[in-house]
Amino acid sequence: MRQLMDIARDANEAKRAVAKLGTNDKNRGLSAIADALLAHTDEIIAANRADIEAGRASGLGEGLIDRLMLDEKRIAGIAEGCRKVADLPDPIGEMLWMRKTPSGLNIGEKRVPMGVIGIIYEARPNVTVDAAALCFKAGSACILRGGKEAFHSSLCLTGLMRAALAAEGLPENAINLVEDTTRDSANQMMRLNGYLDVLIPRGGAGLIQTVVQNATVPVIETGTGNCHVYVDSTADLAMAQSILVNAKCQRPSVCNAAESLLVHRDVAAAFLPMAAEGLAPSGVKLHGCPRTQEILGEAVLPATDEDWGKEYLDFEISVKVVDSLDEAIDHINRYNTGHSECIVTRDYASSQRFLEEIDAAAVYVNASTRFTDGFEFGFGAEIGISTQKLHARGPMGLTALTSTKYIVYGNGQVR
């Protein structure tokens, strides 16, 4: 097992080689990785099965088991994500602007690699490949530290990716996995000053806050998702039901799934039974306000203040009847996590107020929050969804993993 400091040194040497690679070489490496994943699907599934069995034995919830699970379809999707990243324009070397100053200098801003990017994540083996592919295309080396729940899957995937790069004559140390999944290795990564250029946590609120509060290296904060669907007084109720069911039930264990439903009082009596009917086949538990309970009866559990701010990551949702758009906006901005928020409405003015006044990385009018995703946004893949406002916000694709430097041309100027 490679020690973390050895990995850090190897990654720092590799970053120079990766930064020099041309677009064709990077795309060749990504295509080789995609081919390797497909060719070794059975091997990946076997490794993943060991993680799932261990997870169930340790009492891991089914929502997290779903995040952990890999099958032929998901592996094919991960491989396709690599090809999509290869198809994207290479951001490295792009000149953002160039202009001449009064002193005669020509000054421009150029996009360059970050260097070494660290990612700490939990039971999401797909992140192992998505993160590695994006970092590689962005001209950087990466150090991946996944959770123990996905250890066998991540180890298998990383081995295949490194072998694929090596077979193409490309630097295998561009992609590195920390095999020590103890808390000590995470703490060490948070303090790899001089080795890590940036650290990105991807996982639950506990992991993210631990990294943000304890890291001495620069951190890009990705966020949890307490996402809302607000059904306005003018909403098409059939559309609202379809959006709600998709946002809550299609994959409840992900951060862009809806965790709270707000309904305008004018349509509550009509819509709440439709909502309950749509959510019932998935067995969704409802935590509702008193007015929700009056309409839907004993099937609704009483909602607490904790419910309004909770990311369930399961078949549960909080439900509140509101008196106005103002109340809906105030409630969302109080309890949301800055991730993704949706309004269902036929009123243009209401939709524009919602877009302008809701503080979140992605704000939707008449569409499911499930679309907040790098692949769906056309980024090929994502390294996470940033809920902060510095450097990057929302799904983080290639450009979010780059930095810039200034290029200055002179002809002898002195100051």
In terms of Cα–Cα distance, which of 128, 242, 232, 118 is closest to 185? 118
CA distance 215 to 178: 17
What angle separates helix 125-137 from helix 72-87, to the nearest 10 degrees? Answer: 10
Domain that holds residue 165: 4-222+396-409
Task: Tell whether 280 is covered by a domain.
Answer: yes
Averages of pLDDT over runs of 10 residues in the chain (415 residues) are 93 97 98 98 98 93 86 96 93 96 97 96 89 96 95 97 98 97 92 95 82 91 88 98 98 92 98 97 97 94 95 95 98 95 98 97 96 82 78 85 95 94
pLDDT at 376: 87
pLDDT at 62: 81
Distance of CA 16 to the CA centre of its chain: 27
Looking at the structure, tell me whether residues 13 and 103 fall in a common domain. yes
pLDDT at 380: 66
Looking at the structure, tell me whether residues 196 and 250 fall in a common domain. no
Looking at the structure, tell me whether residues 287 and 231 fall in a common domain. yes
Task: Tell whether 327 is covered by a domain.
Answer: yes
Task: Tell whether 346 is covered by a domain.
Answer: yes
Task: Tell whether 415 is covered by a domain.
Answer: no
CA distance 164 to 30: 9
> Does residue 310 sit in helix, strand or coil?
coil
pLDDT at 60: 87
pLDDT at 394: 86
How does DSSP assign 7-41, residue by residue?
HHHHHHHHHHHHHH--HHHHHHHHHHHHHHHHHTH
Looking at the structure, tell me whether residues 339 and 405 fall in a common domain. no
How does DSSP assign 79-124, residue by residue?
HHHHHHHHHSPP-TT-EEEEEE-TTS-EEEEEEEE-SEEEEEE-S-
Task: Tell whether 262 is covered by a domain.
Answer: yes
Looking at the structure, tell me whether residues 152 and 243 fall in a common domain. no
Looking at the structure, tell me whether residues 254 and 286 fall in a common domain. yes
Looking at the structure, tell me whether residues 202 and 249 fall in a common domain. no
pLDDT at 105: 97
Which CATH number goes with the domain that contains 265? 3.40.309.10
Q: Which residues of 303-324 are buried (b: 16+ CB within 10 A; e: fewer)?
A: beeebbebbbbbbbbbbbbbee
> How many domains in the chain?
2
Phi, psi of 391 (to 5 degrees): 70, -55
Looking at the structure, tell me whether residues 72 and 136 fall in a common domain. yes
Looking at the structure, tell me whether residues 56 and 173 fall in a common domain. yes
Which CATH number goes with the domain that contains 24? 3.40.605.10
Looking at the structure, tell me whether residues 174 and 260 fall in a common domain. no
Q: How far is CA 121 from CA 73, 130, 155, 289, in A?
A: 22, 12, 14, 35
CA distance 152 to 132: 17
Q: Judge whether 208 and 186 are in contact, CB under 8 Å.
A: no
Looking at the structure, tell me whether residues 264 and 168 fall in a common domain. no
> Does residue 411 sit in helix, strand or coil?
coil
pLDDT at 33: 98
pLDDT at 360: 94
Task: Tell whether 313 is covered by a domain.
Answer: yes
Looking at the structure, tell me whether residues 159 and 21 fall in a common domain. yes
